[in-house]
Structure formats: C-alpha cells, structure tokens
C-alpha cells in the first residue's frame, strides 16, 4: 500500500483503511491490483473501483482545492453530482474521482480550483506574498 497523506498532503499511515469485510455484504471479493500515481506517489487500487475508493483506502482525502480560498476538498456526494472530488487524470482536468474507475498506469493529480481552460487546474496556487498582506 502506498504512503497516505494528511489534509495538507503530508504522509500519514494512520489514515489508510480499506474495509475488508462488511457485516451485511461479507468479505471483499478478489480483484486484480491496479497501480497508478497520485501527485507522483505510487498508489495501489483494485480493478474496477472508483479512483476515490483507491485514494481513500490509501489514506488520501484531499483531491482538489477551492478556486478563491485554496480550501481543501475531498468527496462529498460520491455519486458524481457535486464538484468536490474533481481531479486531473492524465492531464485532463475536471474528472469526478467518485464515478471514474481507476486504471493501471494512470497519472492522477490534485486539481487546484476549477478549470476554465486557462490551465489553473494543473498548477498549484502561488504562495502568499507576505509583503502584500494587509
């Protein structure tokens, strides 16, 4: 399993978790391993599961940031209706991680803000300039 991160992206192994057996659904069925990256770090998922499930199992909770404030976002509705889990997949922004199956070899990255075809989803926001702070 890959190393997980806290809300700021710092590694945190205590956050990783995958439910292996459910009281009503029983044990997790067998599935092939799928290897991909998130922000350059290797992650192992299960074939057929949504990207967000693999990331959550690896302890990764932050998938994008708000355009104005930079506030962290992860999953909210988990059925593809909101924008909280949008990620960049193989350079394509605005991909909902909750309904997009993970695939072997894909490159998933944090989406910074919402893409408006100006590239802002691909680049982290600039660091605050202390000399211009109020």
Q: Is 104 left (phi over 0), alpha (psi -120 to 50) or beta?
A: beta
The answer to the question of residue 82 being in a domain is yes
Domain interval for residue 93 = 1-14+30-111
Segments of the chain scoring below 50 in pLDDT: 1-6, 8, 10-11
pLDDT tens readout for residues 112-133: 877 655 555 555 555 555 565 5
Instruction: Give dist(CA 8, CA 65) in Å, integer.
Output: 11
87 in Cβ contact with 99 (< 8 Å): no
What's the pLDDT score for residue 5? Answer: 47
4 in Cβ contact with 59 (< 8 Å): yes
Cα radius of gyration (the chain) = 16
What's the pLDDT score for residue 123? Answer: 55
Tokens encoding 54 = 């693999």
Instruction: Give dist(CA 40, CA 26) in Å, integer.
Output: 34
Number of structural domains the chain divides into? 1
The answer to the question of residue 21 being in a domain is no
The answer to the question of residue 133 being in a domain is no
66 in Cβ contact with 83 (< 8 Å): no
Indicate which CATH number applies to the domain containing 73: 3.10.20.440
Q: How many residues does the chain have?
A: 134
């Amino acid at each position: 399993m890959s190393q997980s991160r806290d809300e700021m992206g710092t590694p945190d192994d205590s956050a990783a978790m995958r439910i292996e057996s459910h009281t009503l659904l029983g044990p997790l069925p067998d599935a092939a391993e799928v290897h991909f990256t998130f922000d350059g770090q290797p992650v192992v998922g299960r074939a057929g599961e949504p990207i967000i499930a693999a990331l959550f199992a690896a302890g990764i909770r932050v998938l994008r940031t708000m355009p104005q404030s930079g506030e962290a976002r992860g999953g909210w509705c988990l059925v593809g209706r909101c924008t909280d889990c949008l990620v960049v997949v193989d350079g394509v922004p605005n991909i909902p991680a909750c309904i997009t199956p993970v695939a072997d070899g894909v490159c998933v990255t944090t989406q910074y803000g919402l893409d408006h075809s100006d590239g802002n989803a691909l680049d982290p926001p600039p660091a605050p300039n202390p000399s211009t702070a109020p």
